[in-house]
Amino acid sequence: MAKEIKFSLVYRDMWQSSGKYVPRVDQLVQIAPVIVDMGCFARVETNGGASEQVNLLFGENPNTTVRQWTAPFNRAGIQTHMLERALNGLRMNPVPADVRKLMFKVKKAQGVDIARSFCGLNDVRNIQPSIRYAKEAGMIAQAAMSITHSPIHTVEYYVGLANQLIEGGADEICLKDMAGIGRPVSLGKIVKGIKDRHPHINVQYHGHTGPGFSIASMLEVARAGADFVDVAMEPLSWGMIHPDIITIHAMLKDAGFLVPDINMKAYMEARYLTQTFIDDFLGFFIDQSNKQMTSLLVGCGLPGGMMGSMMADLKGMWGAINMALRQNKKQEVSLNDLVVQLFQEVEYVWPKLGYPPLVTPFSQYVKNIALMNILSMAKGEARFSTIDKDSWNMILGKMGKLPGELAPEIIELAKKNNLEFYTGDPQAPYPDALDEFRKEMKENKWDFGQDDEELFELAMHDRQYRDYKSGLAKERFKKEVEQAKEKANAPIIVKRPVVEMPSFDVNRIMEKFPDAQAVQAPYKGQVIWQYDMTDVSTAPVVGTEFKKGDIICFVQTYYGVEPIHALKDGKLVYIETRQGADVQKNQIIAFIN
pLDDT digit string, tens, across residues 527-577: 877 644 334 445 567 778 888 878 888 887 755 667 888 888 888 888 887
Average pLDDT, the chain: 89
- CA pair distance 1, 262, nearest whole angstrom: 21
Q: What pLDDT is recorded for position 533? A: 34
pLDDT over 90 at 214, yes or no: yes
Q: Which of 182, 234, 246, 247 is nearest to 212 (CA)?
A: 182
Q: Which of 269, 226, 272, 290 is nearest to 8 (CA)?
A: 226
- 209 band by pLDDT with thresholds 50, 70 and 90: very high
Q: Above 90 in pLDDT, residue 301?
A: no
Identify which of 509, 592, 516, 587 has the alpha carbon closest to the alpha carbon of residue 555: 587
pLDDT at 487: 79
d(CA 526, CA 530): 12
User: Is-cis flag, bond preceding 361, omega within 30?
Assistant: yes
Q: Residue 583: pLDDT band by 50, 70, 90 thresholds?
A: confident
Burial class (CB in 10 A: 0-12, 13-18, 19+), 411: middle
Lowest-confidence segment of 133-137, 332-336, 436-440 by average pLDDT: 332-336
pLDDT of residue 502: 44
Strands (DSSP E) found in 219-295: 228-231
Domains identified in the chain and CATH numbers: 6-287 (3.20.20.70), 294-416 (no CATH), 506-592 (2.40.50.100)
Predicted confidence at residue 275, as pLDDT, reads 95
pLDDT at residue 166 greater than cutoff 60: yes
* Cis peptide bond N-terminal to 235, omega within 30: yes
State pLDDT tens for residues 412-429.
999 999 999 999 999 999
pLDDT band at 246 (very low <50, low <70, confident <90, very high): very high
**pLDDT above 90: residue 145:** yes
pLDDT of residue 155: 98
Cα distance between residue 95 and residue 400, in whole Å: 14
Lowest mean pLDDT among 260-264, 387-391, 497-501, 538-542: 497-501
Rounded to whole angstroms, how far apart are CA atoms 180 and 303? Answer: 7
Please provide the DSSP assignment of 535-578 as one string. ----PPPTT-EE-TT-EEEEEE-SS-EEEEE-SSSEEEEEE-S-
Question: At 432, is the secondary structure helix, strand, or coil?
Answer: coil
In this predicted structure, which of 2-11, 47-56, 280-289 has the lowest mean pLDDT?
280-289
* CB count in 10 Å sphere of residue 156: 11
Query: Average pLDDT for residues 398-424, to the nearest whole number?
Result: 95
State the pLDDT confidence band at 500, using cuts at 50, 70 and 90: very low
Reported as a pLDDT band with limits 50, 70 and 90, residue 182 is very high
Residue range 337-361: mean pLDDT, rounded? 89
Give the global pTM. Answer: 0.82
Supply the pLDDT for residue 536.
Answer: 40
Give the least confident one: 231-240, 320-329, 423-432. 320-329
372: part of which helix (H) or strand (E)? helix 362-378
Assign 297 a pLDDT band (cuts: 50, 70, 90).
Answer: confident
Amino acid at 165: L
